[in-house]
Structure 1
Amino acid sequence: MGETRRGQEGLGILLLVGSAVAFSTAGYFTRLIPVDVWTLLFWRGIFAGLFVMGVLVWQHGADAWRSIPAMGLPGLSVTALSSSGMIFFIHAFRHTSVADVAIVYAAAPFVTAGIAWLWLRERPSRGTLIASAIAFVGVVVMMGGAFRLGNMLGDLFALAMTLSLSLMMVVLRRHGDRPMTAAAGLSPLLTALLVLPFATPGGVGSIDIWHLALFGVLQNGIGLLLITWGTKMLPAAQGALIGALDAPLAPVWVWLAFNEIPPTLTLMGGAIVMLAVLGHLLGDRRSAVLAQTDSP
């Protein structure tokens, strides 16, 4: 039983690291594709949703449709929370600075831990909380300590995004027995539907459509799949902490693609976040090995 659980936790870590890598490419694709944000969200949602629903059909064949009613109210909640988080994310960037959004979202492990404790009575380990605090400091350093509460509306959108995604992770953890792949496919399609009145889908060229397809599949579709599967296997706060890897990885892709060398503070803060997350994961594995050694 212990071996099975540790194997499941290891798989969960790999899946969530993969989701952080996928989500971290958002800045690269946003810089690459010269269309307005609403059209970007629309096409990304269409391609991501079709990709995930295709995976669902590949998994279950003709019975794929049965997983939609089977996910029940929890699945609908995940769909709504994921979609609202995406929209709040964009609104936050339109009303406040990147630094404010990043620093507010860096509090996600603490918000997730609080919700998980109140709802599931799932207490985060001291190591998770310490690593989360160190990662938070790293994000603040990355942004040059630039949090200023310059625009309250934008900061509230960033907080709403953080609450939405934290709640989503706790719901996924709470209902790990439900099939949630359909929710990962429906949420970007719902986002596309909601932003359609503001988008201009027909004004996109063929090259941009190709890039939007990659954006939808590689960043949003794969990211949603991996976070949906991985969150079920780990404590909610630990899953949110692993998601912090998004922050230091995001400038790497822009650096490699556009030769934009990140500022020194970005590199220093990113290193702090990476060390916090990786140190926590290595410490957890070491504790598991020691526990196994000590057990009769």
Structure 2
Amino acid sequence: MNGRTYGILLVSIATVMWSSAGLFVRLLGLDTWTTLGWRSLFGGLTLLVISLYQNRRPTPAGTKHAIGLYLFAGFIAGLSMFGYIGALKFTSVANVLAIYATTPFICAGIAFLWMRERAERRVLIASGIALIGVLVVVGFAARFDDLAGNGLALLMTVSFAYLLIFARRHPALKLAPVNAVGSGLCLLLSLPLMSHQIPPPSELAILAVFGSTTSGLAYLLFMTGSRHIQAAEAGLIGLTDIVLGPLWVYLAFGENPGMPTTIGGALILFSVVWYMWGRLRAARALSRQRLKSAA
């Protein structure tokens, strides 16, 4: 498996994990901040265990980074995690989705300014189609006067996009401790707002799975996979979260997503499938060309 395929696989798995968040939220009877706090706690513990496992071997010479680099990256990760839940608290889901849909474009812009990486034309076209799909999903009902919620949604999107480029810029940076610091920061920010009563054992079990997958493994897999593909491409694949989330809730609870979500989701899926099909054809053509050259 080549590096590009490996990256696409990891990013896709992470996106599927993220899309399960709606299922966990439906199973829990907790408020937003309490859910976020416990999710961050279990996600951080999962990443801490992974970090300790990764550090069981001596770090190769020349790959050690200053503690400040990890704290900075962790701070950015924490802003992204907190901004997402905060945005949902202060504005509509429609607003958050509309702003989040700009992720591929923001990734492409940061990558060009910082690394002079030009996004492929096919990525930008597919991202544009996906953006139209998201606008259909929200039904053009976004309330752009909700400045606090919009600001948090933009903060979440920009910080997440920046973190993707940051991980590529520093390939020796270990991502598990970075996201562990982010989860810890998110927990600290949630503490004043969350309930301090311990949930019942059944909800604690759900929170443990919720945190370890969507806040722990998903972030780690996505950040690791994004190192092997273009940042805009990773952002495009991540948009399928918008489609898969309502789908899982519909299959599990029979919650009808509605016609706008169905039509917009189809557009988003089409954009990703169209892009991936083009990449697959290009890879096959290159493989055949190499075989002919070898012969």
Same fold (TM over 0.5): yes
1:73 deviates by 4.2
Alignment correspondent of 1:101: 96
Q: More deviation in 72-81 or 242-251?
A: 72-81
Q: Which residue of 1 aligns with 2:49?
A: 54
1:243 equivalent to 2:249? Answer no
Check conservation: 1:81, 1:164, Cα contact below 8 A: yes
SS in 2 for 1:161: helix
Secondary structure of the equivalent of 2:2?
Answer: helix
Relative to structure 2, which stretch is displaced further, 53-62 or 265-274? 53-62
State the distance in 1 between where 2:230 and 2:73 align. 17
Aligned-partner SS, 2:56: helix
Give the structure 2 partner of residue 294 of structure 1. 289
Q: Secondary structure at the match of 1:154?
A: helix
Closer, same or farther: CA 61–278 of 1 in aligned 2, 3 Å: same
Tell me the CA shift for residue 184 of structure 1: 2.0
Matches of 1:146 and 1:262 in 2, distance apart? Answer: 16
Mapped to 1, the partners of 2:211 and 2:241 lie a distance apart of 17
- Give the counterpart of 2:135 among 133, 140, 143: 140
Q: 271-280 or 75-84: which moved more?
A: 75-84
User: Larger helix proportion, structure 1 or 2?
Assistant: 1
Partner of 1:118: 113
Q: Separation in 2 of the partners of 1:71 and 1:31?
A: 41
| Aligned-pair CA distance for 1:247 | 0.5
Distance 1:69 1:153 in 2: 39
How far apart are 1:270 and its partner, in Å? 0.8
Q: Give the drift of 1:285.
A: 2.1
Amino acid at match of 2:216: G
Corresponding residue of 1:70:
65
| Structure 1: 5+ residue stretches without partners | 1-5
Displacement of 1:111 in angstroms is 0.7
Provide the C-alpha distance between the structure 2 equivalents of 1:29 and 1:270, rounded to a whole number of angstroms: 21
The two structures have a TM-score, normalised by structure 2, of 0.92
* Structure-1 residue corresponding to 2:185: 190
**Runs of 5+ in structure 2 lacking a partner?**
none
**Paired residue for 1:80, among 52, 75, 81?**
75
Cα contact 1:173–1:234 (8 A) shared by 2: no
- Alignment equivalent of 1:226, drawn from 209, 212, 221: 221
Structure 2 residue aligned with 1:3: none
The residue type equivalent to 1:274 in the other structure is L
Tell me: CA distance 1:128–1:72, structure 2 relative to 1, closer, same or farther (3 Å).
Answer: farther
The superposition leaves residues 109-144 of structure 1 with CA deviations (integer Å, 9 ceiling, x where unpaired) of 001100110000000000000000001111111112
User: What residue in structure 1 maps to residue 265 of structure 2?
Assistant: 270
TM-score normalized by structure 1?
Answer: 0.91
Partner AA of 2:48 in structure 1:
M
CA contact (8 A) 1:71 1:179 kept: no
Q: Matches of 1:265 and 1:19 in 2, distance apart?
A: 25
